[in-house]
Amino acid sequence: MKKSFLNNLSKIYLVIGIFLIFCGFILLGITFYPNIWYSIDDSATDNDILSIQKEIEILEEKEKEDIKKEVEIVDNRPPINPSLPTTPMLKINNIGVDGEIHRGENAKVELDKGIWIVPGYGTPDNNELPIIIAAHRFGYVYWSSEFRTKSSFYNLPKLRVGDRVQIIWDQREYQYEIYKAEDDKQIADYDADLILYTCRMYNSPIRVFRYLRRIK
């Protein structure tokens, strides 16, 4: 009885041993198969290189298409209109503003000329940051009445939510709509596409702000 049990146990171990040896040969074959294959077939490496190159070309083409799509999305500027002025202009029909936008670094000098776009922020053709445009509300005594109407923000407080503003930039017309109107000491909403502001009164820290979204 004991001898029979030992014989059966040895057969089981033998089967397990053969199975493990077989598995070992399979693992060795898998490990060394590429080397054996590439040594037998000289064209195998070239075929693999061609296959990899093809995959890279497909990926590069896809990346080009993605970049092209991104460019198409980003470049959403209005069409050029040759009849528009080449000089940057701000137009606010509701309050009679129709003046040149000045782009210098010196705020005092540029505000003396009228409407000023703050440097270091957005422009109509690069609106990653908000466009910030300012002008004196009362201006200077030597400004003419016509210039004061067209190039000051005297009537900016009269603008309400829903009113529209146009910027002419590189002979393209950009349109914006006011979504928030408030008085404050500083800008409170940098998510706007366009921010217009002026002083509320002489020597007052309070400013009149109008926040706008681009609509066209």
The pTM of this model reads 0.66
Q: What does the pLDDT read at residue 95? A: 97
Q: How confident is the model at residue 76 (pLDDT cuts 50, 70, 90)?
A: confident
pLDDT tens digits for 150-175? 999 999 999 999 999 999 999 999 99
82: CB partners within 8 A, 6+ apart: 171
Answer whether 137's CB lies under 8 Å from 208's CB.
yes
Segment 71-98 mean pLDDT: 88
Q: How confident is the model at residue 64 (pLDDT cuts 50, 70, 90)?
A: low
Residue 146 one-letter amino acid: E
Segment 92-99 mean pLDDT: 97
State how far the Cα of 74 lies from the Cα of 210, in Å rounded to an integer: 25
Q: What does the pLDDT read at residue 141? A: 84
State how far the Cα of 3 lies from the Cα of 112, in Å rounded to an integer: 114
> Please, which residues bridge with residue 173 across strands?
168
Nearest to 85 by CA among 173, 196, 214, 194: 173
What are the tokens at 174? 């950009």
- Give buried/exposed letters for 10-31 (b at 16+ CB in 10 A, else e): eeeeeeeeeeeeeeeeeeeeee
What are the tokens at 35? 């080397």
Answer whether 142's CB lies under 8 Å from 204's CB.
no
Segment 41-57 mean pLDDT: 49
For residues 49 and 131, the model is more confident at 131
3-state secondary structure of 108: helix
Q: How confident is the model at residue 3 (pLDDT cuts 50, 70, 90)?
A: low
Nearest to 191 by CA among 117, 133, 131: 131
Nearest to 134 by CA among 62, 195, 43: 195
State how far the Cα of 33 lies from the Cα of 53, in Å rounded to an integer: 23
Q: Which residue's entry shows tokens 């004991």?
A: 2
Nearest to 44 by CA among 56, 34, 53: 34
For residues 169 and 10, the model is more confident at 169
For the ranges 7-16, 37-46, 47-56, the maximum mean pLDDT occurs at 7-16
Q: How confident is the model at residue 80 (pLDDT cuts 50, 70, 90)?
A: very high
Kindly report the average pLDDT of the chain as a whole number: 81
Segment 126-134 mean pLDDT: 93
